[in-house]
Amino acid sequence: MDRLWTYHYEGAALRDLNGWIDQLRWQRLEPFPKLAGMLLRHQEGILNYCHTKAPFGVVEAVTGKIKALLRRGRGYSNLCYLLLKAQRMASLKTEWVVFLKAA
């Protein structure tokens, strides 16, 4: 499975991923077919990594910032406004936001 993150061509990654999913489906332990189903549902996003190799640390940082934004806002009724707030948060320097909170 480690090879999956080194592919540059989507077809080769798809072949390897599908082979791994087929092996998981025939396992007798219940979590393995469940994992195979989850991989199938997220197959497009996994294969998208062949085109855009974003480091996982960056992805986790962005996800954390969006979750913090959702907690602070206590729910947004307008998706466009939420996306605007997320873009605004991404454009600000983290030190500046922390400084403003401390003041």
Helices (H), 2-103: 10-25, 31-41, 43-48, 56-73, 79-91, 94-102
71 and 89 assigned to the same domain: yes
pLDDT > 50? residue 20: yes
61 and 43 assigned to the same domain: no
41 and 62 assigned to the same domain: no
Task: Look up the domain containing 65 and give its range.
Answer: 56-102
39 and 68 assigned to the same domain: no
Integer Cα distance of 45 and 32 in angstroms = 20
> What values do phi and psi take at 15, rounded to 5?
-60, -45
Residues 6+ apart with CB under 8 A from 66: 86
pLDDT class of 1 with cuts at 50, 70, 90:
low
65 and 88 assigned to the same domain: yes
pLDDT class of 2 with cuts at 50, 70, 90:
low
Residue entry with tokens 């190799």: 53
- Token code pair at residue 77: 């009724």
| Tally of structural domains, the chain | 2
Integer Cα distance of 36 and 38 in angstroms = 5
Residue 66: closest CA among 99, 89, 95, 100: 89
- The predicted-structure confidence for 79-89, as pLDDT tens digits, reads as follows 888 778 877 87
44 and 6 assigned to the same domain: yes
6 and 41 assigned to the same domain: yes
